[in-house]
Amino acid sequence: MLDRKQSAIGWIDVVLLVLLAGLALLPATDQFHKQLILAIIALFQFLEGRLITLLPKHGRIYTVLIKILLSTLLLDHTGEIGINSSYYPIYFLPIITAAIYFGPIATLLWTALASLAYCAFLVPAFEQGYELGSEGATILAIRILFFFLAAILVNRFVVENRQQVQRYQALSETLEATNRQLQRAEADARRSERLAALGQLSAGLAHEIRNPLGVIKGSAEMLSEKVKDISPLASELAGYISSEVNRLNALVARFLDFARPLAVELRPQQISKIVDGSLESVRIQVPHAKVQVERYYEEELPDVLADEQLCDRVFVNLILNAYQAMEARPDGRPQVLRIEIAPESSNGKAGVGLAIEDTGPGVPAEIREQIFNPFFTSKKDGVGLGLSIVAKIVDDHKGWIRLESQRGGGARFHVFLPAAPDAGQEMKLEPAAATGKRLNT
């Protein structure tokens, strides 16, 4: 496509050269100066784009002015009296250029300036004793009116073309946004399918593992009781078996939490109150963490349909992950946890958007697509079910959760929850933004 475009431009340039050469070959009273001016016009026509690129703010203005000046010089050297020169249509060059580059009003002003430059030849003509006459005035008026007619027609076409291009661009942006939404929906659907399949597998494995674990634990406890007086070492080893079985039972319980359907009780809730409670829970778990929390809550947030306990579990998990990712700085300055809550819409659905952003090292690009997959973890002692369960809870609330790209490091999790029906009718749908009340704690 690029080669084809370049060849088309070259063809137009050749036609322009041929037309200007034809004008140059025609006889005139001052043949040399006429040819020189036409050569300058041809050269400037080729350099016009570079001038506009070099001077993007005033380049178009200079272009039209230079073309009016060159057109005036050409008429001055192609006739005894410039007003009678047969080369007067050269003024169409700056007029059409103005019609292409500017709007309707500016086009009319540039056309008026070109017409004044043409009419300026009347001054020396009158000084030499020439009279305009009624017929001459009619011819002059016709020429000037054609100047304006050509300017308006070209400008109208250019304006309509620009509007059409803008419509196509808007349509292209809409299609691109729709395509991104479809890709996200497909990714969410694939994740849901993987979660469902792995959930069934986990449930089966958990039940199969739990039964022998019960036998092992019971046997270890009985063995510990019988040999505690005979062999303290054997009793201690049996205690290890029992404690490890308890740890495995806790892991199996997490598998079952992930696998079993959630009993979601949706009620209108204020998401900001749930988040504040989750923050307090995390502070109790990690009381010595040096983290500064910045909260940006929009006023008059609509209620969301949510299960308070499950949402608290979501936010505690996300906030705790952020705390754990933010290690203490060598200079002693606290890390920053930023929480934004604002009205938002997604796919025409009203709701509330919540963003949790930390100043930790962030999530490497190569694992971004996997962090919500079950059993995937980057922690040494992790199981890889925390974010999977979070995603499942959010999905059961008919919302979504995404890890967004973050400049300068850190991770940013974005959660969307639908609004309660009554709240959704009254709220103003705006993108999430940090323009609300700021609370630093």
Helices (H) and strands (E) in the chain, counts: 12, 8
pLDDT tens figures, 39-52? 888 888 888 888 88
- Name the DSSP letter for residue 78: S
pLDDT in the model for residue 96: 92
Helix (H) or strand (E) segment spanning residue 340:
strand 335-346
Q: Give me the phi and psi of 83, to 5 degrees please.
A: -65, -25
User: Which stretches of 380-436 are assigned E, i.e. beta strand?
Assistant: 400-404, 412-418
pLDDT in the model for residue 433: 40
CB 147 within 8 A of CB 98: no
Is this prediction's pTM over 0.75? no
CB 355 within 8 A of CB 400: no
pLDDT in the model for residue 198: 64
d(CA 356, CA 336): 11
| Tokens encoding 156 | 């109208």
Give the Cβ contact number of residue 295 at 10 Å: 20
pLDDT in the model for residue 430: 39
pLDDT tens figures, 226-279? 777 777 777 777 777 877 777 777 777 766 666 666 678 888 999 999 999 999
What residues contact 302, with CB distance under 8 A and at least 6 apart?
343, 350, 351, 352, 419, 420, 423, 424, 426, 427
Torsion of CA 295, 296, 302, 305, to 10 degrees: -40
d(CA 89, CA 80): 17
Cα 117 to Cα 71, 90, 111, 179: the distances in Å are: 9, 12, 10, 54
pLDDT in the model for residue 138: 92
SS3 377: coil
Answer yes or no: CATH 1.10.630.10 is held by domain 267-440: no
d(CA 353, CA 247): 37
Give the Cβ contact number of residue 285 at 10 Å: 12
pLDDT in the model for residue 143: 92
Mean pLDDT by 10 residues, the chain (441 residues): 43 76 74 83 84 88 92 84 84 92 93 93 84 87 93 93 91 88 77 67 68 77 75 75 78 66 82 92 84 89 90 92 79 83 88 91 78 69 73 87 78 91 47 41 42
Sign (positive/negative) of CA torsion 232, 238, 244, 245? negative
pLDDT in the model for residue 45: 83
Please, which residues bridge with residue 267 across strands? 306
